[in-house]
Chains A and B, each alone.
Chain A
Amino acid sequence: MSKNNKDCLLKVDGLKKYFPMNKGLVKAVDDVSFSINRGETLGLVGESGCGKSTTARTIIRLYNPDSGSIELDGFELASLSQKRLMPHRKKMQMIFQDPYSSLNGRMTVRDIINEPISVHTKLNKNDTKNKINDLLERVGLNAGHANRYPHEFSGGQRQRIGIARALAANPDFIICDEPISALDVSIQAQVVNMLEELQEEFGLTYLFIAHDLSMVRHISNQMGVMYLGRIVEIGESSEIYREPKHPYTQALLGANPVPDPRIVRQKLKIIGDIPSPLNIPSGCRFRTRCPHAMDICSKEEPQLTGSGRQVACHLHT
């Protein structure tokens, strides 16, 4: 893997986030480790409720991690207080899923984009105005939109405003938390293309969360598959796509629609629903739905093995 000779921007190691509930602990993120190289994209996929968003929100410190380390650009963020975190905040920003609730309806587009600028920089009025206009044009809107309110825009346009806001602090790293799932298919392509252009232009690094696998394949260099708070397979996305090793990854890829009716796919069927994160199965957490489940699966939890391409499955040890 090329990780060693490239510049690693984000390194997450052993990240854990548990939520105490009345009935017990919800292990939303349970020992997640990965790293992203500068200028690259890691795609994170998995079913609803598998902990993708919680991972993202813990990395950006909306939640305080229970253990583990988050190293951004050489700085350890996991243990910093919110106050000491402030100077690092501008280095990572987030694009949210729902363009309707991610913009404050009582603020103009100018005020929305101005928020990170005013928090993190000391630009004068004129420079701020120019910067906002530049950002708007960069995301495909125009300066005349600055005085308008979010409700006057379509979903795609609102997502562009959200992207402009994320860019306003000049971040190195952007977490895209399902940025296109709420958009029409035709708009999705535009937004993804724009994200790619922006990545090239500003040298951005993305953590791209999605459940549309072809989209993840398209945008990301690396890909991680999460199941019940854990990464079960991680590696180059083209490799995972070509040869998924973990049964869960195989099932996920098999469920992905192929736009060609002549192709008959062999589907690996997995049965049942994702187990409750309140009581995670012993051993391998996928064993309850795995067609290849063996004796060892219920006794021993498989660890991620391999270098570069890592799989957590007893079939591959």
Chain B
Amino acid sequence: MTDTINNNTFSSDDWDNGPKEEFLKSENLAPSMTYWQDVGRRLRGNIPAMVSAAVIILLILAAVLGPSFSSHSYEDQELSFANIPPIINLYQITPGRYVYMHRNLRLIETTSGGDLIETVGMEKEDLFKKKMFYDIDGTRIILDYSQRPFKLTDVDGKPLETWKKTGPGGYLLGTDALGRDLFVRTLYGARISLLVALIATLANFLIGVIYGGIAGLAGGRTDNIMMRIVDIISTIPLTLYVILIMVVLDSGFLSIIIALGSVYWVNMARIVRGQILALKEQEFVLAARTIGTSTMRVLFQHLLPNSMGVIIVTATMLIPSAIFIESFLSFIGLGVSAPMASWGTLCSESLDSIRTFPYQLFTPALAICITMFAFNFLGDGLRDALDPKLRK
């Protein structure tokens, strides 16, 4: 047995007969593509994600620049122009004099373009017949509220024709119950929401990623203790944190920011820890350790860059829920205080008059929906782009 093996071994020359690997000349190679260039290329091919990214950029621009283009500020009240819808019916009384009949039984004089001028004074009111009498430049008109829908008639009781439908000048989306411009307030709400998104992202990156990274890298007892702390934090509802912080601090918004900033990183910490645990047994990490690379350099040069895809996707997916949490807390009255506006408070304020003025709920609700959709679609697109294997 031993002889047969001995007769059939290789000599050094045998190896030289193996095929030689031909290396391509550098100039013949396709241009090098980094991982992120590749991701960018895949992301650009994803239409919903690109539309979402455009929406988010528009939203940021609108929130930052939008309010300065409007003549109204988010806190200017004009009680006589309260609850003006975004589209109003104008009636021509005489050439050059136009009125708008407000749903709470007032006539507001406007210009021909729809700019609101002032409330028209009433001549007299017949409470018994439910009629209001007006005299505009000698033309007498009657606001008849004896039956719905209310109508504007001439002295003979013949309904006036709508002269034209137009937007109330200056108020793009109408006004709220205190006569504040809803458009500016919605944009102002976008500022709040984007600020919350920013805080949530910062908390995730500064605390979540590093906390999870250290827990995963350290392993053993340290990891165990750190993750139990995370478990404890995540068991206590965020609402409770906000209320407790509000006891100490006055501002509702500041407490939301502090609550989000201090506890909203736990999901990220868990995900990063899982990633690090999986990555740290990879041979390139062992190689770095045999080289003698410092632990921090292993974390920041090897482990985190390789988890960046998951981190970005998680952050993008956590942003909409942070925005929703803020809106929800504001909606139930724990959020920003008047006269500041967030989408949650706008929704909440509009609920009082939802039957009469539904447009007031429509705008902030739509804004919340669009923003959440945009961030979710972008997160989905990023996930597909960062990990092509996950694609359906």
Contact = CB atoms under 8 A, between A and B. Distances in A.
Interface of A: 57, 60, 62, 85-86, 89-90, 92-94, 96-98, 101-107, 115-116, 119-120, 140-145, 147-149, 152, 156-157, 162, 165, 169, 186-187, 189-190, 192-193, 196, 214, 217-218, 241-244, 250, 253-254, 256, 258-260, 263, 265-266, 268
A66 B9 CA distance: 39
A243 B35 contact: no
B5 A253 contact: yes
Nearest to A168: B291
Contact of A62 (B5, B8, B289): B289
Closest A-B pairs by Cβ, 6 of them: A144-B26, A89-B292, A102-B283, A189-B18, A96-B283, A106-B305
A74 B35 CA distance: 45
B18 A254 contact: no
Nearest to B34: A149
B286 A106 contact: no
Given A106-B306, A148-B32, A259 B292 contact: no
Contacts of B147: none
A86 B292 CA distance: 6
A94 B6 contact: no
A255 B6 CA distance: 14
A104 B5 contact: no
B15 interface: yes
B21 A214 contact: no
Contacts of A218: 9-10, 12, 15
A198 to B, nearest CB: 15
B71 interface: no
Given A106-B305, A193-B15, A193-B16, A140 B23 contact: yes
Given A149-B32, A218-B10, A242-B2, A104 B302 contact: yes
A267 to B, nearest CB: 8
Given A149-B32, A152-B32, 19 more contacts: A62-B286, A89-B290, A90-B292, A94-B287, A98-B283, A101-B283, A102-B287, A104-B288, A106-B305, A106-B306, A116-B291, A119-B291, A120-B291, A148-B29, A242-B2, A242-B5, A250-B1, A256-B5, A258-B8
A141 B26 CA distance: 10
B96 interface: no
B291 A115 contact: yes
Contact of B21 (A93, A187, A265, A268): A187
16 contacts: A92-B290, A101-B282, A101-B284, A104-B284, A104-B305, A105-B35, A106-B306, A140-B23, A143-B26, A156-B21, A190-B18, A256-B5, A258-B5, A258-B8, A263-B8, A266-B1
Interface residues of B, number: 40
B37 to A, nearest CB: 10
Interface string B276-301: 00000011101111111100000001
Given A141-B23, A142-B26, A189-B18, A93 B35 contact: no
Contacts of A169: 291
A190 B21 contact: yes
A190 B20 contact: yes
Contact of B290 (A62, A152, A268): A62
Nearest to A165: B287
A47 B76 CA distance: 81
B254 to A, nearest CB: 39
Contact of B293 (A102, A119, A148, A250): A119
Contact of A217 (B9, B301, B306): B9
A246 to B, nearest CB: 13
Interface in B1-53: 1-2, 4-10, 12, 15-16, 18-21, 23, 25-27, 29, 32, 34-35
B17 to A, nearest CB: 8
A259 B5 CA distance: 10
Contacts of A165: 287, 291
A142 B286 contact: no
B9 A241 contact: yes
A142 B29 CA distance: 12
A141 B284 CA distance: 20
A117 to B, nearest CB: 10
A169 B32 CA distance: 27
Given A101-B282, A186-B19, A241-B6, A60 B32 contact: no
A194 to B, nearest CB: 10
Given A101-B282, A263-B8, A244 B2 contact: yes
Contact of A97 (B21, B35, B283, B308): B283
A162 B2 CA distance: 36
A265 B16 contact: no
Interface centre among B15, B16, B290, B301 (most CB of A within 10 A): B290
B292 to A, nearest CB: 4
Contacts of A254: 1
Nearest to B304: A106
Contact of A243 (B2, B29, B34, B288): B2
Nearest to A116: B291
Given A105-B35, A149-B34, A258 B284 contact: no
Interface centre among A89, A101, A192, A214 (most CB of B within 10 A): A101
A280 B13 CA distance: 43
